[in-house]
Amino acid sequence: MNLSGLQAECGRLLSDPNNQRWSLATLTTRINLAQTEIQGYTSAVKTSETLTPVANQRTLGLNANTMGIVRATKTLSDGTTIKPFNGITREELEFIDPNWQQWTAGEPMYWFYDATNQQVNLAPAPDSNNAIANGMTFWESRQPAALVNTTDLPFDSNNQMVPYHYTIVHWVVAHCFMDDGTPEALQKANYHYSGKMLAPGKYELQLGRIMAEFDVPEAVPEHILWQQQGGRVGVWNIPSKSVPLLWP
Tell me the pLDDT tens digit for each residue of 132-161: 999 999 999 999 999 999 999 999 999 999
Q: What domain count does the chain have?
A: 2
Q: List, for residues 151-200, the tens digit of each pLDDT value.
A: 999 999 999 999 999 999 999 999 999 999 999 999 999 999 999 999 99
What is d(CA 173, CA 237) in angstroms, rounded to the nearest whole number?
69
Domain range for 155: 3-44+144-213
Cα–Cα nearest to 161, from 209, 219, 217: 209
pLDDT at 218: 55
Statement to judge: residues 29 and 105 lie in one domain: no
Angle, helix 166-180 to helix 183-192, in steps of 10 degrees = 160
In sequence order, which residues have a C-beta less than 8 Å from that of residue 240 and are 6 or more positions away? 231, 232, 233, 234
Q: Is the pLDDT of residue 242 over 90?
A: no
Domain assignment present for residue 236? The answer is: no
Statement to judge: residues 40 and 159 lie in one domain: yes
Instruction: Give the domain-ending residue among 142, 172, 205.
Output: 142
The percent helix, strand, coil of the chain (3-state, each to 5) is 35, 15, 50
Q: Could you tell me the CATH number of the domain that includes residue 129?
A: 2.60.40
> Which region holds residue 118: left if phi is over 0, alpha if psi is between -120 and 50, else beta?
left
In sequence order, which residues have a C-beta less than 8 Å from that of residue 224 and are 6 or more positions away? none
Confidence of residue 216 (pLDDT cuts 50, 70, 90): low
- Average pLDDT over the chain, rounded to whole? 89
Q: What is the DSSP string of 68-118?
A: EEEEEEEE-TTSS-EEE--B--HHHHHHH-TTGGGPPSBS--EEEEETTTT
Instruction: Count CB neighbours of 125 within 10 A.
Output: 21
Minimum mean pLDDT among 88-102, 113-127, 219-233: which range? 219-233
What is d(CA 198, CA 200) in angstroms, rounded to the nearest whole number?
6
Pairing of strands 47-51, 136-142: antiparallel
pLDDT at 78: 85
Indicate the pTM of the whole model: 0.82
Statement to judge: residues 53 and 136 lie in one domain: yes
Q: List, for residues 219-240, the tens digit of each pLDDT value.
A: 555 556 555 554 444 444 555 5
Minimum mean pLDDT among 62-66, 90-94, 166-170, 237-241: which range? 237-241
3-state secondary structure of 4: helix
Confidence of residue 114 (pLDDT cuts 50, 70, 90): very high
Statement to judge: residues 165 and 133 lie in one domain: no
What is d(CA 203, CA 190) in angstroms, rounded to the nearest whole number?
10
What is d(CA 139, CA 117) in angstroms, rounded to the nearest whole number?
18
Statement to judge: residues 100 and 33 lie in one domain: no
Q: Which amino acid is at 239?
A: P
Q: Is the pLDDT of residue 82 over 50?
A: yes
Mean per-residue pLDDT, 211-217? 78
